[in-house]
Amino acid sequence: MDTVFSDLTRLLEQLTWVEALDILVVALMFYALLVIVRGTQAVNLLRGVIVLVILVVVFSGLFQLRAVSWLLRATLPALLLAIPVIFQPEIRRALTSLGRAGSWITFRGRHEQVMAVIQCIVRASERLSKIRYGGLIVIEREIGLQEYVDTGVNLNANISAELLVQIFHKDTPLHDGAAVLRGEQIVAAACVMPLSTNTKVEERRYGLRHRAAIGITESSDAVAVIISEETGSISVAYNGRMIRKITHARLSNILAAFYQPRTARTRSWIRRILGIKTKEHGE
């Protein structure tokens, strides 16, 4: 044990700042990779690949397995080419997040405008929940959803709770699909959303609307509000995750948080970390 500590001490003494920076960059790359695949089906795949590589390297080194070592060297380029294909959804999400870093959400209206839009969504969700009409409201943020808007019926109408309720009425041709909101407008209804590719999304727990909400939030930074036709419960999906059975008051708070500029959300997060209490708007 003393030998190990002495070797480690000698190694640290010989370490230059450039080598330390090199190690830090590699560590950050691995950390970023883990953050990207966290909560996705790629986690188990990545874990299996790492375990397999470690076992092959260790055994080939200990027992001088030349054929295994040659096979590992020969297949490494093919594995590197396969990584973008295997982890395509995760890589796309990471590049999308990098591309929008530091930007603000699309709708940057005055506080009164933002709150008016939020209250329309909340009132419509409350009404749909009471009458047990299913609904899927997708709120566009920094990443454009035009390709999905084109699959529906263009409306370009000002947001109102009454119009949202009417869209999802069972007797209207627009009730199937999603209503897409952009700023203060309902740009389209009856839009087709991509279904989630996550195998953890069990079909017996999530209906088609919920799976579509998870799917669109996996491929974009949109926020989706879902009203269950069976139970009347309200859920919110973001970043491929679902917050289920929320109250109307909580829905308003969640939407208010997402409608904030990114810089404001960052400041709020820093205040929570530091334990700094802030006054509510209007106090």
Work out the mean pLDDT of the chain and round it to a whole number: 78
Query: Pick the residue with more confidence: 40 or 277?
Result: 40
pLDDT of residue 269: 41
Least confident of 104-113, 128-137, 195-204: 104-113
168-177 pLDDT, tens per residue? 998 888 988 9
pLDDT at residue 283 above 60?
Answer: no
Q: Which domains does the chain have, with CATH numbers?
A: 2-99 (no CATH), 111-274 (3.40.1700.10)
Distance CA 259, CA 212 (A): 21
For the chain, give the percent of residues with pLDDT over 90: 33
Angstrom distance (rounded) from CA 134 to CA 117: 20
Q: What does the pLDDT read at residue 99?
A: 60
What is the side-by-side order of every strand in the sheet holding 135-139? 153-158, 185-191, 178-182, 135-139, 223-227, 234-238, 241-243
Q: What is the mean pLDDT of residues 164-190?
A: 92
Beta strand pairing call for 178-182 and 234-238? unpaired
Token code pair at residue 98: 């990098």
Q: What is the mean pLDDT of residues 128-153?
A: 91
* Mean pLDDT, residues 182-190 taken together: 93
Give yes or no for residue 61 having a pLDDT over 50.
yes
Task: Kindly state the DSSP code that residue 280 receives in the 8-state scheme.
Answer: P
Helix (H) or strand (E) holding 242: strand 241-243
pLDDT at 123: 95
Residue scoring higher pLDDT (209 or 262):
209
What's the rounded Cα separation, in Å, for the pair 90 and 46?
Answer: 12
Q: Is the pLDDT of residue 161 over 70?
A: yes
pLDDT band at 106 (very low <50, low <70, confident <90, very high): very low
Q: Averaging pLDDT over each range in 108-122, 171-185, 187-201, which range is the top one?
A: 171-185
Greatest mean pLDDT among 12-26, 61-75, 91-105:
12-26
Residue 179 pLDDT exceeds 50: yes
The upper half-sphere exposure of residue 256, i.e. CA atoms within 13 Å in the direction of its Cβ, equals: 15
